Structure 1
């Protein structure tokens, strides 16, 4: 299996499965430029856990793995693995600042509920994977 790539939008390009906001892109580009990794991007992924069943994760990654979907949006390369893509399709990565500081978040149209801290979510009718997800937000 090979990677699927979505270039920057110019005209009639298929809709990107994942995007990043303007502010999120500014923050990501700053972090990527300081990472010291050539051709690095932001890997966005889903893992089981969190108080709502699934938990978002993000990391700076300079590897493109088999099965990855690679999206170039607002100058940022977003990498999503095959397993996470169905739960992230249509999502937007954003950066939010508040009184507690700031951080990246995912605006996910597939999430039917999420915990108060905004790091975990559940999809419609989905059980928590492996019986996880009963803990509170402090368990992140």
Structure 2
């Protein structure tokens, strides 16, 4: 297995590939504790679809796959596959609560547009994957 491990932030260390907010880490810790999976982390990935072209996905995962980038931030293990990493580099996973409930979201500096519900996005110059991305937020 060839995984890249990014250390916890400290003085003079370059920006992490991906990070998690303090509130996001608290919520993730509670979910991970309930998962029953030992040494599990939060896998963050990109898939095609959604109203803006790409859609975020997250899952509790106790597997480290070949090519994964693994970042430990605020005590949470974040796993990103090699195909998703370029689109997620510099992003922060956060947890937001609103009148509709709450959930994880991704603050992505690479996104040039996103849908109103914050679950999908597009980057500069990218088209929606073939035949996808024309629906509204309800089509995720």
The answer to whether TM tops 0.5 is: yes
Classify the TM-score, shorter chain.
Answer: over 0.9
Q: Distance in 2 between matches of 1:46 and 1:6?
A: 20
Cα RMSD over matched residues? 1.0
> TM-score under structure 2 normalisation?
0.96
Q: Which residue of 1 aligns with 2:6?
A: 6
Q: Distance in 1 between matches of 2:56 and 2:30?
A: 21
Q: Which residue of 2 aligns with 1:121?
A: 121
Q: Which residue of 2 aligns with 1:135?
A: 135
Q: Which residue of 2 aligns with 1:36?
A: 36
Deviations 1:24-83 (A, max 9, x none): 000000100110000000000000000000000000000000000000000000000000
Q: Distance in 2 between matches of 1:50 and 1:124?
A: 16
Count of residues in correspondence between the two structures: 140
Structure 1 segments of 4+ aligned residues over 4 angstroms from their partners: none
Structure 2: which 5+ runs fail to align? none
Q: Which residue of 2 aligns with 1:102?
A: 102
Deviation at 1:136? 1.2
